Structures are given as C-alpha cells and as structure tokens.
Amino acid sequence: MKKNDLIPAIIWIILGIAVAIGSYRLKLGNLANPGPGLMPFLLGIALLVCSFPVLIHSFLKMMRKTEQEEKIIWSEIDFKKLVIVLTSLIGYAVILEKIGFVTTTFLLLSILFKTVDSQKWFSVLIASILTVIITYFLFVVILKVELPSGFLGRIV
C-alpha cells in the first residue's frame, strides 16, 4: 500500500459515516423485528471499521519512505484524451433526446475517431457516417430498439 491509499481511505470513512447516519434515520428496528435501516447501518459501520487499517497503513508507509514509487497513478494519465472522451460521452447524453440518434451519434464518433487517431478529417467523416449507418441498421431496423429520432426525424 502506498500514499495513494490515503485519499480513498478518507472517502470510505466519510461514506461509512454518511451511510450509518442515513440508515439510523430510516429506523433500525430491533433484532427481532429488523427495520429498513438495519442492514445499511451495519454496512456503514463495517465500511468505517475496514477503512481504518487502510488509513493507518498508508500513514505508516508515508512516514517511513517519502516520495518513492509515488506519483505512479497520475503520471501516465493522458488528461487531454480523458477529458475529451468523458465530455463527449456526457454531451451525448445531454443532447441525444433533443437532436436525435443519427446526428448525435455522428458528432460523437467524429470526435472520438479524430481524438484518438488524429487522422485527416475526410477519413474521420467517412468512418463516422459508415458507422452511423451500420449501427442504425443494426439497432433500429433489426433489433427494433427505440432511439430518439429528434428534429431530423421529424422533418423526414
């Protein structure tokens, strides 16, 4: 275990306390007649109990060696790609029902293909259009999934 264990341990402790308090409010009942809060209350306490060894271990490790084999977690992250992928996913969910499956999917694929491959826009667009056509055929025509048609669908 490393210094990196500190942050999750603190989160678990807060989460454990929150779950325990929340469950207490749900009414615990008693053992003969357990209420809705009993099980989550026990889980919250268990989470709290299990977090402490992680926390203490991480403190001990931090005191013993400093700045060794650390930063591993964050060093290899490609923040630019990560942010682009995550925002485009969230964006997809936001505009899907407003603009419709075909347009939204085309936009998403263009961004994703461009980000990771950084090819010429021409091939990116061709690949995206092809994928949209294939997935539309697969999901809407064959599997009969109801996907939002959006304004384009209304015009056509």
In order, the DSSP letters of 86-103 are HHHHHHHHHHHHHH-HHH
Joined tokens for residue 43: 């889980």
Three-state SS at 78: coil
- Stretch 62-121 residues interacting with another protein (CB under 8 A): 73, 76-78, 81-82, 85-86, 89-90, 92-94, 96-97, 105, 108-109, 112-113, 116-117
On whether the CB atoms of residues 50 and 12 are closer than 8 A, the answer is yes
Count, residues near another protein per rule CB under 8 A: 61
* 50 lies in the site for another protein, by CB under 8 A: yes
Binding flag, residue 60, another protein (CB under 8 A): no
**Residue list 16-45, contact with another protein (CB under 8 A):** 19, 22-23, 26, 30-40, 43-44
CA distance 104 to 95: 7
Does 58 help bind another protein (rule: CB under 8 A)? no
Dist CA 153 CA 31 (whole Å): 58
Residue 21 to residues 18, 31, 55, 139, Cα–Cα distance (Å):
5, 18, 21, 45
Q: How far is the CB of 66 from another protein (least distance, A)?
A: 20
Which residues bind to another protein, rule: CB under 8 A? 1, 4-5, 7-8, 12, 15, 19, 22-23, 26, 30-40, 43-44, 46-47, 50-51, 53-54, 73, 76-78, 81-82, 85-86, 89-90, 92-94, 96-97, 105, 108-109, 112-113, 116-117, 127, 131, 135, 139, 143-147
